[in-house]
Amino acid sequence: MVKSLGVVNPLPTVTVFSPAKINLWLAVTGRRADGYHDLVSVVAPLEFGDQLIAGVQGNGRRAKDQFTLECDDPEVPVDGSNLVLKAAAAFVGATGWKAAVAFRLTKRIPLGAGFGGGSSNGAAALRALNQLSGAGLDRATLTALAAQVGSDCPLFLPGGPVVMRGRGEQVEPLPAAAAARLRGRRVLLFKPNFSVRTAWAYERLAAGAPAGYLPVAEAERRLAAWIAGEAGAGELLFNNLEPVVFRKFIALPALLERLRTRFGLAPRMSGSGSACFALLPDGAPVEEITGSIREAWGPWCFVQSTAIA
């Protein structure tokens, strides 16, 4: 530790924003031999999210304590099952970096929502460690590490709307002109006080195969047409997991229909749910819409206004 004029210089610390995401377009195209599903999805990061602080610690920690995690939400696990620590382990495996780091996570993205909070946290940890260590890993290397941590982690690295393929590990930025039609668009996020297990949703989709899948050629054709055209974000919306989830969790379609009828919105489910979202037109009565959501799902349901980043 370096001292100067009697002042102890602080050890390096970085703060990284960890955004939530929504799936504007989600086409599950089939099941793979390894049990995962193939998909084509347009995913947009949001201006709303968590905050991850990573700080280098002093010497003397044992190897098993190289990384520690604290979180302000007691429901978030802070052991090796958390994707922040999984990402840290992957980073060390790739770089051999030996410094001890303490992570502090401020959680705003609700758990089990489909907003990608855990995956975003994992990607944020990789970005933080890359900066702290000075390793200078390029985007391709970070993406490969992120894919080891979780299927959705790579989508948070480009910093804008992306197209995600395969089981989620194939990520490319949405073309600039198409991304410009999404950025800045106001969005209302909302989630009931229950979650939908992602594995369950995909299992139910597979049980009804092939009727529930959208063939990959058709998915790519539709997406390419939207990208090449000039239609706005509202013309992109699609999710073929909705019928599967809605058959069991009827509170979701009931509220979405109310929002369509009463406010003229086009709300959708994000990912496998239970999180939903609605693109907000200019002048939308956000307080009135929020009141309608809380009336249907209870006063403690999650509602957040934000924008596509």
What was the pLDDT predicted at 113?
Answer: 85
In this structure, the number of other CB atoms found within 10 A of the CB of residue 259 comes to 20
pLDDT range class, residue 211, cuts 50, 70, 90: confident
Sign of CA pseudo-dihedral 169, 196, 87, 303? positive
Q: What is the pLDDT of residues 156-172, one digit of tens each?
A: 999 999 999 998 889 99
Q: Is pLDDT above 90 for 257?
A: yes
Which residues are designated catalytic? Answer: 21, 152
Domains and CATH numbers, the chain: 8-177 (3.30.230.10), 182-307 (3.30.70.890)
* Average pLDDT score, the chain: 93
Q: What is the pLDDT of residues 30-66, one digit of tens each?
A: 999 988 899 999 999 999 999 999 999 985 444 567 9
Instruction: Tell me the HSE value of 226 on the side-chain side, using a 13 A CA sphere.
Output: 23
14, β-bridge pairs: 54
Work out the burial of residue 24: count CB atoms within 10 Å of its CB; fewer than 13 is exposed, 13-18 middle, 19 or more buried.
Answer: buried
* Residues whose CB is less than 8 angstroms from the CB of residue 144 and which lie 6 or more positions away in sequence, other chains included: none
Q: Which residue has the tokens 């978030």?
A: 76
C-alpha 229: how far from its chain's center?
26
CA distance 127 to 101: 13
Q: What is the pLDDT of residues 104-159, one digit of tens each?
A: 999 999 988 889 999 999 999 999 999 999 999 999 999 999 999 998 999 999 99
What was the pLDDT predicted at 10?
Answer: 65
pTM of the model: 0.90
